[in-house]
Amino acid sequence: MELSKTKIDKSGECLAKGTWNSEDQYIESEIIFDDYRKLHLEPLTEITLKLQGWLNEFGKDFYIAQRIKRKPQILRKLQRLHVRLSQLQDIGGIRVIFEDNTHINDFVSFIKNKIAKGRFFTIEREADYRELGRDDSGYRAFHLILSRKGIKVELQLRSRIQHNWAERIERTSVIYGYYLKELQGDSRVLEYFKSLSYIFHEIENKRNPSIDLIDRLEKKRLECEEIIQSSDKKNIFKSSVNEDFFKGMINRDANLKQSFHNWMIVFDWNSGAFQNWRVINGKSDEAIKMYVDLEKQYSAEAGYEVVMIGSSDVTAIRKTHSHYFGIETYDTILQSIKSAILDINKKEEIDEKTRKVLQCLVRRGNWNAKKISFDTLSNHYCRDIANIEEVINILEKMGLVIKSSNNNCSLNMKRRKDIEKYIK
């Protein structure tokens, strides 16, 4: 079916506003919508892989993943902003997280220099939301609209602190049952997150927020906790992180031959937990077909969210989209500002005994298929470490080690760069 702008826009309007006159018109609109979304996957993946290569040259720590926008999210945006489907520029999106905000400026310059030498894609527009924050939510990031083969995709560049805020508001949305980044929910909760964004921004720019400002935010936090508790719209205060799903993804990822693949993640808003996942290495047609099938099987109306995220390393997905991997605790819905400040200043580190085990595995060359038993490690190579299984469990959770059911383990070859960083 040939996709004209008129057909694309009519399908978007039909699905977003419910204006179909017959079942045939509805089905045709769905087909056009899915075909149009499918057009974004191939250029999106090509741009992601190109950026990943450039990021390796750039030399700073990063996490990168891509995603195709979810159907319910697209339809909500069409309703909220009163735009046409063909006008949306973020159906395909790429997210890159850097350790420091200054790296973003340097990488934008780096990209522009690369484009000047060979126009693999073009930059259509750029928007810097880092200084003032966007809209009423307080969202901060640097956005670039890129174009390849006539298809536009959005590149989000965030610092670790900016991403920390974004994941907090996503996590709270899961608990609260309202899409806070889309400005749903109580205005006091939205104002809290806007104030939190400002304080994070001050900290990132080495300016200490006043005690009075922090005290006022703490009062807002307690008020918002009561609002969210009394709402309990989705009734998910007793869910928990499902680590088994993630371990399964890591083990599958380590055994996949291709370096880049799409992960289909099903998130259950009713329980606030990671529900299901699948991986596909095929072409864009196969990936989109599976995406559409899962969206039908796990409908938004029933409280599910299906997302397709592409990455060369599944552990990057937990960094770029961490709120899909469950909620760790509901004891405190909104983290206290003092605890939050400690959290954003904390870097992921490992203790000395964990580093020793990692160094031992590297020294012995225990990568992927070359496994070693816990007993051998404990009795011959790491005698001074009391509970070797506990250490292996930590490394497995980080995605650095693959553990098998018969108490054997090996290093994850796909995390080689990270492993080398930890053992230095």
Indicate if the pLDDT at residue 235 is higher than 60: no
Is 118 within the bounds of a domain?
A: no
Q: Is residue 331 part of a domain?
A: yes
Per-residue confidence band for 271, with pLDDT thresholds at 50, 70 and 90? confident
47-51, 130-134, 342-346, 391-395: least confident range: 342-346
In a domain, 276, yes or no: yes
* Pair 381, 291 in one domain: no
Residues 326-365 pLDDT 10s: 555 555 667 777 777 767 666 667 788 898 999 999 999 9
Same-domain status, 283 and 321: yes
CATH code of residue 402: 1.10.10.10
Residue 194 lies in a domain: no
DSSP H helical segments within 87-138, as ranges?
A: 101-117
DSSP single-letter state for residue 138: T
Instruction: Based on the fold, state whether residues 287 and 372 are members of the same structural domain.
Output: no
d(CA 421, CA 216): 40
HSE value, Cβ hemisphere, 13 Å, CA-based, for 227: 20
Give yes or no for a contact between 115 and 168, defined as CB atoms under 8 angstroms apart: no
Q: Are residues 326 and 367 in the same domain?
A: no
Mean pLDDT of 120-126: 94
Q: Name the range with the highest mean pLDDT among 28-32, 227-231, 246-250, 283-287.
A: 28-32
Among the candidates 344, 370, 386, a domain finishes at 344
Exposure of 131 in the CB half-sphere (CA atoms within 13 A): 3
357 with 329, same domain: the answer is no
User: Do 275 and 320 belong to one domain?
Assistant: yes
Domain end marker among 344, 365, 394: 344
pLDDT in tens, 164-218: 999 889 888 878 888 898 899 999 999 999 999 999 999 999 888 888 988 999 9
Q: What is the mean pLDDT of residues 111-128?
A: 92
The answer on 368 and 340 residing in a single domain is no
Listed residues 344, 363, 385: the one ending a domain? 344
Do 253 and 329 fall within a single domain?
yes
Q: Look at residue 128 and tell me whether its pLDDT is greater than 90.
A: yes
Task: Give, as one character, the DSSP assignment of residue 66.
Answer: E
Q: Kindly state whether residues 266 and 248 are assigned to the same domain.
A: yes
Q: What average pLDDT does the structure give for the chain?
A: 87
Tell me what pLDDT residue 82 has.
Answer: 84
Full domain range(s) for residue 274: 243-344
Average pLDDT of span 40-62: 92
Q: Is residue 253 part of a domain?
A: yes
d(CA 263, CA 317): 9
Regarding whether 295 and 248 lie in a shared domain, the answer is yes
In a domain, residue 67? The reply is no
Looking at the structure of the chain, the number of domains it has is 2
Predicted local distance difference test score (pLDDT) of residue 190: 95
First to last CA, the chain: 56
Whether 217 maps to a domain, the answer reads no
**Which of 86-100, 175-189, 258-272, 329-343 has the lowest average pLDDT?**
329-343
The CB density around residue 280, as the number of other CB atoms within 10 Å, is 18
Residue 286, in any domain of the structure: yes
Give the model's pLDDT for residue 346: 65
